[in-house]
Amino acid sequence: MRLRDSLITRVLRGPLEALVAEQVARQVQELKLDALYSYRWHGERSRLHVPDTAVVNNALFNMSGGTITLGEHVFFGHDVAVLTGTHDVTKFGRDRQLAFPRSGRDVVIGEGVWLASHVLVLGPVTIGEHAVVAGGSLVREDVEPYTVVAGRPAKPVKKIARPGS
């Protein structure tokens, strides 16, 4: 009896699991992607522009020194930090804590950019469309479109072929 029940369960289980998986996938597609991911921010929330198509995994955005703008279909690995602020190293104590620029350190991350896990971006900087930033990299200079960068500081390591080329 047990063997027969086990065989019946195995035969029925495959189609049932497939049906459940299909329903779950359909529901996930109907959700806005930003509802599935999380981020924290420091500064004025109005200075952060994240489109519905962005995928952001536990990121930190600091807009104390400028704006942060993400392009369509940008996606982040885990624990990415994007910072517009900095502190004045010539000051000490409380003065150092309070001395930071309020504007002019904007960060623009172009369409389709992939920032892998543990990337740190320090503004002012522009990351061109469809660029890739390798995990653990420090971006403190502009990145050309269709370029892979890696390292601390990030340097170009490869050009990506543009579609149709």
Residue pLDDT, tens place only, 49-68: 999 999 998 899 999 999 99
Using 50, 70 and 90 to split pLDDT, how confident is the model at 163?
confident
Helix spans in 54-154 (H): 94-98
Tokens of 126: 């522009």
What residues contact 141, with CB distance under 8 A and at least 6 apart? 125, 153, 154
CATH number of 34-159: 2.160.10.10
d(CA 6, CA 10): 6
Q: Which of 78, 87, 118, 130 is catalytic?
A: 87
pTM, two decimal places: 0.76
Res 4: pLDDT: 52
Q: In 3D, which of 152, 156, 134 has the Cα closest to residue 143?
A: 156
d(CA 65, CA 83): 8
Tokens of 117: 């896990």
Q: In 3D, which of 33, 37, 40 has the Cα closest to residue 61?
A: 40
65 φ/ψ angles, rounded to the nearest 5 degrees: -115, 10
Tens digit of each residue's pLDDT (9 = 90 or more) over 7-58: 555 555 556 565 555 555 555 444 444 444 678 888 889 999 999 999 998 8
Instruction: Tell me if residue 42 is catalytic.
Output: no
Q: Where are the domains of the chain?
A: 1-30, 34-159
What residues contact 87, with CB distance under 8 A and at least 6 apart? 96, 97, 99, 100
Burial 28-51 (b: 16+ CB within 10 A, else e): eeeeebeeebebebebeeebbebe
Residues 137, 119: contact at Cβ < 8 Å? yes
CA 157 to chain centre: 20
